[in-house]
Amino acid sequence: MDRTPILISLGAVAFIILYFAQRLIVNWALFSQNKKVWLNAVSCDLWKNWIEPFLVAGILALVIRTFLLGPYKIPTASMRPTFMEGDRIFVDKISYRLHPPHRGDIIVFKYPLDPKKDYVKRLAGLPGEALLIKEGKLYINGAPLDEPPFSNLYYYNRNDWQYAKEGAVIQVPLNSYFALGDNSAQSSDSRNWGFVPAKNLVGRAFFIWWPPKRIKIAE
């Protein structure tokens, strides 16, 4: 896994924190030494001491959230045990601008039936592949997926869903992906509503940052 985009994003976050910390330390030192001098300095240079730092930090935060690193909250049980309801995660938004996603990535994407909603699933089928769900296992172009995490998960057929019928071979269109929830029994995913267009990809979920007991790299 290429961690360069992640390190860039975390570095930008660290820069914002250090930028604010430096300003606060300087102002606190002046305030502690001479409150009158501090008050006069603040009044005379309001832009430099307060408006400028918040403006710079706000712009950087907007750029990071839009293009590099986004926070999301997991609302359902569809990705158990990888993600639990209420987990807060970071999503790397830059990697897929540099290379296509890989099978097994946990992807965040615009829900094809309602692009205002973001979904989180695991990427199972790549463009042009033939996918089959049989007796709980995934088959790609006739070969079983025996490597983790797929070998550790059970996938259900659903004859009332268009792309989950027993024995049905699913052909993934070009420029599209087939995404599945890790908790197959409680996940509405590509088995139900179809394929994820490449243009709908938002990024790759890679880190749980809250609650504290759940902090870890997501795989």
Same domain, 132 and 191: yes
DSSP annotation of 3: -
Whether residue 83 sits in one domain with residue 35: no
Do 128 and 64 fall into the same domain? Answer: no
Catalytic residues: 78, 121
Question: Which pLDDT score is estimated for 19?
Answer: 63
- Per the structure block, which two tokens stand in for 49? 């001491």
Q: DSSP label at 173?
A: P
State residue 42's pLDDT score: 58
Give backbone dihedrals phi and psi of 190, rounded to 5 degrees, phi first. -60, -20
pLDDT at 24: 67
Q: Do 51 and 78 have their domain in common? A: no
Q: Same domain, yes or no, for 84 and 60?
A: no
**Does 211 lie in the same domain as 111?**
yes
pLDDT value of residue 9: 59
Residue 63: its pLDDT value, please? Answer: 56
Q: Kindly report, residue by residue over 117-163, the tens digit of the pLDDT.
A: 999 999 999 999 999 999 999 999 999 999 999 999 999 999 999 99
What's residue 85's pLDDT? 97
**Claim to verify: residue 160 and residue 194 sit in the same structural domain:** yes
Model pLDDT for residues 24-77, shown as the tens digit of each residue: 676 666 667 766 665 666 555 555 655 666 666 666 556 555 556 788 999 999
Helices of type H across the chain: 4-33, 35-44, 46, 52-63, 95-98, 190-193
Residues 94 and 24 in one domain: no
Where among 53, 69, 85 does a domain terminate?
69
Dihedral (Cα; 96, 99, 105, 109), 10-degree rounding: 30
Interatomic CA distance for residues 153 and 157, integer angstroms? 13
Same domain membership, residue 199 and residue 132: yes
- Distance between the two ends of the chain, CA-based, in angstroms? 10
Q: Which of 19, 42, 69 is the last residue of a domain?
A: 69
Position 44 scores a pLDDT of 56
Name the domain count of the chain: 2
State whether 9 and 31 are in the same domain: yes
Do 212 and 111 reside in the same domain of the chain?
yes
CATH number of the domain at 198, please.
2.10.109.10
Distance CA 154, CA 69 (A): 31
Same domain, 86 and 181: yes
**Tokens found for residue 76:** 């359902």
Residue pair 158/185 in contact (Cβ under 8 Å)? The answer is no
Domain C-terminal end among 69, 97, 125: 69
Q: Which domain holds residue 23?
A: 4-69
